[in-house]
Every structure is written in structure tokens, then in C-alpha cells.
Copies of this chain bind each other. A is one copy, B any other.
């Protein structure tokens, strides 16, 4: 921890993340996916990443299309209204670890608190443990009841996109916080990308990332596209529909071209009028 400001470039921020790292991705399937940073990881050819996210979507698709992924741990991966996530739906199931919100929340809480597990009643009488042979039971020393020991979810880098951040790395939103704060606290480091870099330390809204967790801050306008970023812009459903059709009909490599810089993703791929919300 130094006292210099943490603002850097997408390229430098992405290069903090080595091959084989475990990355946590914030937001949900509709919003605040750190897509600019993910495009940069693909561009840099990162491989063998383990991805932890709550509700995955186009973030997972792009990382899979780019050949960056060893394992996906998510509670759900879909393109929402557009339907199944085509690349994810076709990968080897052995690459996918089934999570639910409870397994992720307890797992990240355990990690943040330095524990190897937390007990939970969640998913106890479901078939989900059949998909998770790694789960163990633990017996309460008080009641004798057996409950599931949710294993700690370790994350090297949390990747969080927000509407605003400060140069020292405080980041927040006035929209849905999802699980981002917990993810940032559970991760060893957090990389923040934000639509707007604000002056340091003004009193602000809901804090998702405390500055002490943050290693790098990158200004990334439309950095969540094609997901939305409240209040700046909404999810780009037409782009996602194009993506789904392209990935299904012409495969991952063709779909990747939709995310290419030619010369600039922001200028050539984003129809701003389509995603602005007029109230």
C-alpha cells in the first residue's frame, strides 16, 4: 500500500492478472460487468483463468470465446431475455462448478473472515450437492445437526465496474450493489473500472469497494457494454441478440470479432442512443 493515486490504463491493470489466476467478476448478468477489462484480458491472451461470478452472461461468453478459461463458478449463466448463453451451454460440464447464491455468499464470507468454511442449511435437501462432490458436511457441536460446510471461495482479483470511483480506489453505485462489496472484501486485490473518476473523498452514495481493497482504478466509459451501468446506460439487448445469433451460427471466433477494436470498440460498436435512458 502506497499513498500514490491508483489510476492506470486498462492494459496495465489487466497485466496485473497472471495466467491461472482466480478472478471474481462483479455486477449481474444485465449490468456492471467489467467488459472493457475483460476485452483487454482477451486481447492480452490470458489463459487458464478460474472465473467466479454470481450471475454470469456475456462476460463468461467473451472469456470462453477468447480461450481464457479453465473453470467457471457461477450461480447462473445466461443472456437473460435473449436466452441461453450459446458458448457456455456447449462447453464441457467438467469446466463448470455449480454455485447458488448461498454457496457463493458463505464461501466469500468464509474467505473474507479467514475461515475455510461456513455452515449453511441452504441446498441441504436438494440434489445440488450431487453436482458438488467437493462439499462436506459438518456436525454442530451443540445440536448434533449435520449441515453443509460451504467451502471458502478464494479470489485473487475482484474485477468491479461501477459508475464512479475515486483515484484512491473508493468505488460505488446508486443502483444495485449485488454481491460486489463482499467479493471485494473476499478477494486479495480489487481492480476497479468506472465510468467516471471523481475527486477523492467526497461524500458519496453506496460504497461497493473500499479504497484499501483497490490496486488499480481505470476510467472506462461504456466499460460495461453490452451490459448496462446505472444510471449511465442500459443493457444493449440488440447487441446481445446479434452476439447470440453470431455465436450460434458462426461460432466463437466470429462472435469475438463483435468485440474487436476497429479502431475503437466504443466508437464502432456502441450505438449510444440505443442505450441511453431518457426519463
Contacts and interface: CB of A to CB of B under 8 A. Distances in A.
27 contacts: A113-B120, A114-B121, A115-B119, A115-B120, A115-B121, A115-B140, A115-B147, A116-B140, A116-B142, A116-B143, A116-B145, A117-B119, A117-B141, A118-B118, A118-B119, A119-B119, A136-B141, A136-B142, A137-B141, A138-B138, A138-B140, A138-B141, A140-B149, A141-B149, A142-B149, A142-B151, A142-B152
Interface of A: 113-121, 136-138, 140-143, 145, 147, 149, 151-152
Contacts of A152: 142
A109 B254 CA distance: 49
Contacts of A142: 116-117, 136, 149, 151-152
Q: Within the oligomer, what is the number of copies of this chain?
A: 2
Contacts of A121: 113-115
A141 B150 CA distance: 10
Nearest to A137: B141
Nearest to A152: B142
A111 to B, nearest CB: 12
Contacts of A113: 120-121
A126 to B, nearest CB: 16
A117 B137 CA distance: 14
A143 B121 CA distance: 21
A278 to B, nearest CB: 23
Nearest to A151: B142
A249 B149 CA distance: 54
Nearest to A141: B136
Nearest to A121: B114
